[in-house]
């Protein structure tokens, strides 16, 4: 005799691989539909290229990886919030606008932080090449 509820048993049947599939599907969907995410991915590739080109240190790589990962996560969370708000209401509502604006503000704040990190890591190297 099963002690668990049908809902609980159903949840147990979802495998770890299926969970990864859903996550990858979500990322793929966001890449296809979100221009800003594609921009962040393109800039991430540029930063990775620069990291190799300038032979940044291990610590700098860790910082760059954290910043790039954080930026992409912030953009995905922002997208998810926008979708949920759009699902909840099609009409204008001040709280819906506020939720979307706050999520977008979080992305902007992380983007500015990322740029500052990039400046600190890469500008001295660029200037040393330009000054010979």
Q: What is the mean pLDDT of residues 9-37?
A: 88
Among 34, 75, 82, 90, the one annotated catalytic: 75
Cα(65)–Cα(80) distance, integer angstroms: 22
Burial of residue 54 (CB within 10 Å: 0-12, 13-18, 19+) is middle
CATH code of the domain in which 97 resides: 1.10.287.3610
- pLDDT per residue over 37-53, tens digit each? 999 999 999 999 999 99
Residue 126 belongs to a domain: yes
Tell me, yes or no, if 75 is annotated catalytic.
Answer: yes
What is the residue range of 82's domain?
34-131
Residue 15 belongs to a domain: no
pLDDT number for residue 131: 86
Q: Whole-number mean pLDDT of the chain?
A: 92
Cα(124)–Cα(130) distance, integer angstroms: 10
Residue 24 belongs to a domain: no
Residue 67 near residue 113, CB atoms below 8 Å:
yes
Task: Please tell me the pTM assigned to this model.
Answer: 0.84
Residue 27 belongs to a domain: no
């Amino acid at each position: 005799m099963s002690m668990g509820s049908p809902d609980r048993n159903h949840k147990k049947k979802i495998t770890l691989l299926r969970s990864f599939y859903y996550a990858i599907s979500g990322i793929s969907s966001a890449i296809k539909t979100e221009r800003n995410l594609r921009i962040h991915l393109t800039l991430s590739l540029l930063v990775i290229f620069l990291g190799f080109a300038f032979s940044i240190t291990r610590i700098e790589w860790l910082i760059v990886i954290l910043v790039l990962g954080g930026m992409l996560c912030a953009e995905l969370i922002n997208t998810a919030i926008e979708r949920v708000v759009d699902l909840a209401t099609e009409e204008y509502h001040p709280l819906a606008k506020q939720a979307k604006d706050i999520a977008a503000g979080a992305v902007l704040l992380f983007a500015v932080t990322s740029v500052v990190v990039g400046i600190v890591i890469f500008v001295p190297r660029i200037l040393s090449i330009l000054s010979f």
